[in-house]
Chains A and B, each alone.
Chain A
Amino acid sequence: MPSASPASTAFPSLAQVRSWTGDYLTDSAAHWITTAHRWQDAYHRVHAEVAHPGGRPWTGRGAEAALQRVAADKLAVLGAVDDLTAAAAAAREAAFQLASARQAVLDAVRAAQAAGLTVDDDFTVSNTGRGTATAAQADALHGKVLALAALDRQVATRPAQ
């Protein structure tokens, strides 16, 4: 069986797959949610306060202009809050999906090694001749790696939306 590896520049190495955790996704998602809440709270507070500054009435054209400005800003900020909340949800989902794809790669690596294949860090596989390895097993492993890399690219389009 000839050595082979999946051809792409965007592949993680076996070491990267083994050491991967989704913390960068889940930690960032938590940060985005905290940030979104902070923005929302700030604009709820100022919007409520601008109509009755210090609990006192404020009327007239200046008051109306202030209220309009704050209402428009609040609308824009709440849109950003929605976007950030959606990005956080996407990042959490991405962490879940990537973890599953990563596990599939590691399972395929173990299966290939158990069948006598040597798997290098770049997922090049070679047959030691001592096992029952088949080309199909190497192809299966490369398929899992391809799927992981494709998923990584796919989820990357979502958090930035």
Chain B
Amino acid sequence: MGNVWVSAAGLRALAGVFGEQAVQVSTNGGAPPVTSGFASSAAAVRSVNRDVDDAVETIADRLAATGALVGTARAGYESTDAANAAAIGAVAGGLGLVGEG
């Protein structure tokens, strides 16, 4: 295992950034309605708008999901650290070098 550097506060901030960007992406305003125009080009524009709406949802969902994974990782690191601390602290007895015997 290589070096592991991690900060719970940093991961919390990172998860927040993913969440903010997911909101930013989904705050798209929606495509302007196509109510007129020549038939073929208007249909093509509507088609692109549908694709864009789908992509907005996909990207926003992916950002939110990645943010959630970062949150899960943070919880995992904290849990592991706590478990390690408990395991190490649970070792009974000290060295008994001072004041014994």
Footprint of B on A, CB under 8 Å?
10, 12, 16, 19-25, 27-28, 31-32, 34-35, 38-39, 41-43, 45-46, 49-50, 52-63, 66, 69-70, 73, 77, 80, 84, 87, 91, 94, 98, 148-149, 152-153, 155-160
Contact = CB atoms under 8 A, between A and B. Distances in A.
Given A20-B37, A156-B40, A159-B44, A46 B66 contact: yes
A87 B32 CA distance: 15
Contacts of A73: 62, 66
Interface in B46-78: 47-49, 51-52, 55-56, 59, 62-63, 66, 69-70, 73, 77
Contacts of A61: 1-2
22 contacts: A10-B39, A21-B36, A28-B32, A31-B29, A31-B52, A32-B48, A35-B56, A38-B28, A42-B24, A53-B10, A54-B9, A56-B5, A60-B4, A60-B6, A61-B1, A62-B4, A66-B70, A91-B48, A98-B41, A148-B38, A160-B47, A160-B51
A152 B13 CA distance: 50
A9 B4 CA distance: 68
Contact of B44 (A12, A58, A149, A160): A160
Closest 7 CB pairs of A and B: A54-B13, A53-B10, A53-B14, A56-B10, A54-B10, A156-B40, A60-B4
Interface of B: 1-7, 9-14, 17-18, 21-22, 24-25, 28-29, 31-32, 34-45, 47-49, 51-52, 55-56, 59, 62-63, 66, 69-70, 73, 77
Contacts of A23: 36
B41 A156 contact: yes
Contacts of A77: 59
B41 A159 contact: yes
Nearest to A69: B66
A60 B3 contact: yes
B48 A60 contact: no
Contacts of A21: 36
Contacts of B38: 12, 16, 20, 98, 148-149, 152
